[in-house]
Chains A and B, each alone.
Chain A
């Protein structure tokens, strides 16, 4: 494959003045040979994220591998490990960065064929959007259904199905409509809302950066336009959500104030005590009444620092420290919430687990659950079922093997403020950790 290196859109001129760009995280997923590397290469190339020395290195290695003069093997850009380049496969999620004037993008490139669930889950948990690639000639495959099923379970805010290789099906509106209808049907079955389906050619650039005049029957946005305008999770309305602040640690500098603080200021800060953490949802203002889990006590916010600077108000996902009008009982693992919104304490709950470790999960085993900033002991009380990603049904199961998704019941050694994942991505997500070697065994979400 080759790229016209002159066709760089002026849109990508990186702005260093004017409105500060916002951040958008997205992941790409696809099956073998559906052109994902080409799509990623196209986005990076057209956004000038690939600089001359990198391009030269790729061109050199491509030539060594027998690519025609001037042609690139785009996979070389993202296959960062020697084993990947030698075997011609992508092993692990790679993170790539590019920017337009309006936005900075973090792209998690998730390989499709090896450990696809593990990689998809990794990419999808932090993504504002996931792009699932479909080969326009092949339509929605089993692999596509699996990707969409994972994306649906993890409730990624925006799902984009890019119907690729539209050039190889003659830019046919009918052919596209057929694939789009398949994708829509699967999405409807999975309960995915706000699906976007686009006809693209990653190789030739149609509907990637600019709308293509070869698909006049398509009046939606080009892929990049969509990525530039979809709201990121942090841009969604925070006012409506109750405050959730998992306490990371207590700041109590006492004698250990930073040097350079003026004496009168140091006197004022002599008894400084604040809880530090990253706001998971909502807004906090000086004067707000809050409640603390698990103590159940209430207090009034008397001071806020965001990234160390005193402010009157802070919002998710800022890293803050909060002072209160009274001494409160809140250490690491506690949760600060808006008064009146305290989640119920739970000791036993139903979850959906994504089994990521090579070892199987069996009933009765002891694990650790990390939720927010709290880590507690737990026992897998029961394994209920395994999700059949092909049939999209739940089958009875005794164990969960690698890459399985299944329903389990967990019993906890201490209370946790669990919330359904459906309503809270942060309050309903947790890790299952091996108590002795510390490996991450599974990703978990709290069922309703």
Chain B
């Protein structure tokens, strides 16, 4: 190993780094949360400006709650200029439905509901053997989008949630069957979004694409955003299945060999009672949740979603069919 001939070359590179960092960096730079917030509001305003009938998919889960909060900021002091749509699987947690109703009433927004139960009752959809209704949401969702003539559908999906979602665009085109064609996506350049579409097509818009789970929680804490109570530690009757604490409830009864016990748990994601697991946690306030998420060694979906464990491509397959 020789030393002298290259020394000049490498130290010059080193010097250029030091110069750029110290001389041009602005004091009081915007934080990650400020920048993510600015980007999300930009996306929300672009969609409202360029589309006729946007709608926000609102489940009462933390991600859709954050998107709705961003929408209130984007149009302040005016009201949010689009309705919200909830696909009700019939297996929702009652406290989440109550939160949903309170929220839309407080903000004065119209709520549209698509009910999976209606489809099961009249035979348009068949209940799955495993009892989970998460994959059944796609058809009612697409019907509701068509019925509402919605040309843009906001969602709270994030790219860090799943590796199929890591390839998703911020503004993503869907054909009239709601299908996502991951191999043929429009390139997304600078911050110029191309939302042009033909009749029958719609776009899905994901304003918090670039947020991580920790960003979401830190933002909720910073903004003091209200959430359904089950995100916070509480005592609940649960039983263990597939390494997750499943709630005892009408849609998720324990089998005979599954012992029911009372544990202090909270939810990291809020989906159906029939496919969402709780995690053991003492985190009873936002600061404690932020601290917990920062050191978590499991992804939120891996820790709490039975449906995503089905296969490596579970999310991609559902997305291609028009899922959220």
Contacts and interface: CB of A to CB of B under 8 A. Distances in A.
Interface of A: 14, 16, 20-23, 51-54, 57, 61, 77-83, 85, 91-97, 99, 103-104, 106, 118, 121-122, 125-126, 158, 170-174, 176-177, 180-181, 184, 194-199, 216-221, 226, 229-232, 234-238, 248-249, 251-253, 256-261, 269, 272, 276-278, 305, 307-309, 315, 317-319, 332, 356, 368, 370-373, 425-426, 429-431, 433, 436-440, 443
Nearest to A194: B16
Contacts of A232: 29
Contacts of A170: 1
Interface string B178-220: 0000110111111110101110000000000110101100100
B154 to A, nearest CB: 16
B48 interface: yes
B9 interface: yes
B35 interface: yes
What are the 8 A-B residue pairs with the smallest beta carbon separation, nearest first? A253-B78, A438-B196, A53-B302, A80-B163, A308-B76, A20-B31, A308-B73, A220-B14
Interface stretch (B86-94, B273-281, B291-299): B291-299
A443 B189 contact: yes
B77 A261 contact: yes
B112 interface: no
Interface in B262-309: 290-291, 294-299, 302-303
A419 B262 CA distance: 65
Contact of B38 (A77, A181, A318): A318
B167 interface: yes
Contacts of B49: 248-249, 332, 373
Contacts of B241: none
Nearest to B296: A51
A226 B17 contact: yes
Nearest to A126: B190
A82 B167 CA distance: 12
A81 B80 CA distance: 35
Contact of A253 (B1, B6, B25, B75): B75
Interface stretch (B39-47, B225-233, B246-254): B39-47
Contacts of B38: 278, 307, 317-319
B33 interface: yes
Contacts of B98: none
Q: How many B residues touch the partner, as a band?
A: 35 or more
Nearest to A93: B167
A210 to B, nearest CB: 15
B72 A173 contact: no
Contacts of A79: 163
B148 to A, nearest CB: 20
B166 interface: yes
Contacts of A269: 77
Contacts, number: 295
Interface in B10-59: 10-11, 13-14, 16-17, 20-21, 24-26, 29-39, 41-42, 45-46, 48-49
A375 to B, nearest CB: 8
B312 A57 contact: yes
Contact of B1 (A172, A229, A235, A429): A172
Contacts of A431: 189, 192, 194
Contact of B14 (A173, A219, A443): A219
A348 to B, nearest CB: 21
Interface of B: 1-3, 5-7, 9-11, 13-14, 16-17, 20-21, 24-26, 29-39, 41-42, 45-46, 48-49, 72-81, 106-108, 159-160, 162-167, 173, 182-183, 185-192, 194, 196-198, 209-210, 212, 214-215, 218, 290-291, 294-299, 302-303, 312-313, 316-317
Nearest to B210: A106
Contacts of A184: 9
Contact of B9 (A21, A96, A181, A277): A181
Contact of A174 (B2, B21, B81, B107): B2
B163 A51 contact: no
Nearest to B7: A217
A251 B42 CA distance: 14
Given A91-B183, A173-B5, A373-B49, A426 B190 contact: yes
A315 B34 CA distance: 11
B79 A54 contact: no
A258 B38 CA distance: 20
B294 A14 contact: yes
Nearest to A25: B210
Contact of B164 (A80, A305, A425): A80
Given A61-B312, A180-B9, A236-B24, 6 more contacts: A81-B183, A95-B166, A170-B1, A219-B10, A257-B77, A319-B39
Contacts of B36: 23
B196 A173 contact: no
Given A248-B42, A440-B189, A78 B10 contact: no
B134 to A, nearest CB: 18
Contact of A370 (B25, B182, B194, B317): B194
Nearest to B46: A248
Contacts of A278: 38, 41-42, 45, 191
Nearest to A198: B13
A136 to B, nearest CB: 13
B33 A218 contact: no
B136 to A, nearest CB: 22
A305 B36 CA distance: 17
A95 B161 CA distance: 11
Contacts of A61: 312
B72 A83 contact: no
13 contacts: A52-B298, A79-B163, A81-B164, A194-B16, A195-B16, A217-B2, A234-B29, A249-B49, A278-B42, A431-B192, A433-B194, A433-B196, A443-B187
Contacts of A57: 312
A382 B154 CA distance: 40
A356 B197 CA distance: 18
A289 B109 CA distance: 37
B21 A22 contact: no
Nearest to A106: B210
A16 B289 CA distance: 11
B164 A118 contact: no
Most chain-A CB neighbours within 10 Å: which of B1, B164, B190, B296?
A: B190
Contacts of A82: 312-313, 316-317
